[in-house]
């Protein structure tokens, strides 16, 4: 596993201390009874009756730590889904580029945080139905002259390693000097320090950075092949994937998804996301998704 930065190590220590609290909040403790275990054993989880989740601690507003608790859109939705399935939830923090390998290697059941569903990632892991659709925003200093994607050529751009934004830049910004970072915050610090011409991040982090620092959003980059952000599972977890997809369909239908988006991501209009999800779910009616 890749070496943690000091910030990531601190987050991991904090997250480990929070595991017991998170498990209890999901409605089922890690020490489930034999009856509970018999009901949940079909879900192929690493620990009987528990959903072991790895994510990064700065994926605002989807998965992050606030007031010593895991919160966010994905955290809320997956916790509700797990409760409905009789599973407790245990979350720990790791560097972003280690998340998918941990799931693929069987060291975690699930990772989340608006992680894009791509063909490359599908070779090693499976995805649930998406719960978000979005784009990437190029954040630059306020005095930057960059206004279009053509003007990114030759510029030094910081991007979260192993992210969907990085895949986009590697495909469409081939003339740029791309520098990867273990976290969005690390990239932002490099930009503020003058070491970069811009950073490509999700709209939520872009908004937060431009509100706190002398930065601005130069442009938005939308991948035409985007399947949205989803939860990621081990390829062997077929029953778990089907069950979680059933939960996601129910959440979209009863308004839970929109409620969580509006609670944890109030800065963005939730209706376009909901409209896109409804069309996407209709186009992919099988709960075996992403293996259909």
- CATH code of the domain containing 165: 3.40.190.10
Q: Are 64 and 207 found together in one domain?
A: no
Q: Is residue 209 part of a domain?
A: yes
Q: Give me the domain span that covers residue 201.
A: 136-221
Q: Is residue 290 part of a domain?
A: no
Residue 167 CA to residue 64 CA, distance in Å, equals: 23
What is the model's pTM? 0.67
Residue 65 CA to residue 93 CA, distance in Å, equals: 9
pLDDT (tens, 9 = 90+) of the chain, 292 residues, equals: 333 444 444 444 444 444 433 433 333 333 333 445 668 889 999 999 999 999 999 898 999 999 999 999 999 999 999 999 999 999 999 999 999 999 999 999 999 998 989 899 999 999 999 999 877 899 999 999 999 999 999 999 999 998 879 989 999 999 999 999 999 999 999 999 999 999 999 887 898 999 999 999 999 887 767 899 999 999 999 999 999 999 999 999 999 999 999 999 887 778 878 998 999 999 999 999 999 7
Q: Are 85 and 149 found together in one domain?
A: no
Q: How many domains does the chain have?
A: 2
Query: Is residue 284 classed as helix, strand or coil in its secondary structure?
Result: coil
Residue 121 CA to residue 232 CA, distance in Å, equals: 9
Q: Are 168 and 231 found together in one domain?
A: no
Q: What is the DSSP letter of 176?
A: S
Q: Are 140 and 111 found together in one domain?
A: no
Q: Are 13 and 102 found together in one domain?
A: yes
Q: Which of 292, 261, 291 is nearest to 276 (CA)?
A: 261
Question: What are the start-end ranges of the H helices in the chain?
Answer: 6-25, 34-40, 73-85, 99-104, 119-122, 164-172, 184-192, 203-212, 238-254, 256-264, 270-283
Q: Are 127 and 173 found together in one domain?
A: no
Q: Are 112 and 27 found together in one domain?
A: yes
């Amino acid at each position: 596993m890749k070496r943690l930065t000091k910030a990531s190590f601190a987050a991991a220590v904090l997250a480990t201390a929070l595991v017991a609290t998170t498990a209890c909040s999901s409605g089922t403790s890690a020490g489930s009874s034999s009856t509970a275990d018999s009901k949940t054993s079909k879900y192929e989880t690493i620990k009987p009756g528990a959903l072991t989740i790895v994510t990064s601690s700065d994926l605002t507003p989807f998965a992050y730590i606030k007031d010593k608790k895991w919160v966010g859109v994905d955290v809320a939705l997956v916790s509700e889904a797990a409760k409905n399935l009789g599973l407790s939830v245990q979350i720990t923090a790791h560097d972003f580029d280690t998340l998918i390998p941990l799931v693929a290697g069987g060291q975690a059941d699930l990772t989340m945080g608006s992680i894009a569903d791509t063909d490359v990632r599908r070779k090693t892991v499976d995805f649930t139905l998406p719960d978000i659709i979005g784009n990437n925003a190029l954040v630059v200093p306020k005095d930057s002259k960059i206004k279009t994607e053509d003007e990114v050529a030759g510029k030094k751009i910081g991007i979260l390693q192993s992210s969907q934004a990085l895949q986009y830049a590697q495909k469409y910004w081939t003339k740029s000097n791309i520098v990867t970072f273990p976290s969005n915050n690390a990239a932002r610090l490099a930009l503020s320090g003058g070491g970069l011409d811009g950073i490509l991040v999700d709209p939520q982090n872009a908004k937060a950075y431009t509100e706190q620092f002398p930065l601005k959003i130069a442009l938005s980059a939308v991948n035409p092949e985007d399947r949205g952000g989803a939860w990621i599972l081990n390829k062997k977890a077929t029953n778990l994937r089907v069950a979680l997809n059933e939960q996601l369909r129910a959440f979209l239908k009863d308004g839970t998804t929109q409620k969580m988006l509006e609670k944890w991501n109030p800065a963005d209009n939730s209706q376009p996301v909901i409209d896109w999800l409804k069309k996407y779910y209709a186009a992919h009616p099988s709960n075996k998704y992403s293996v259909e």
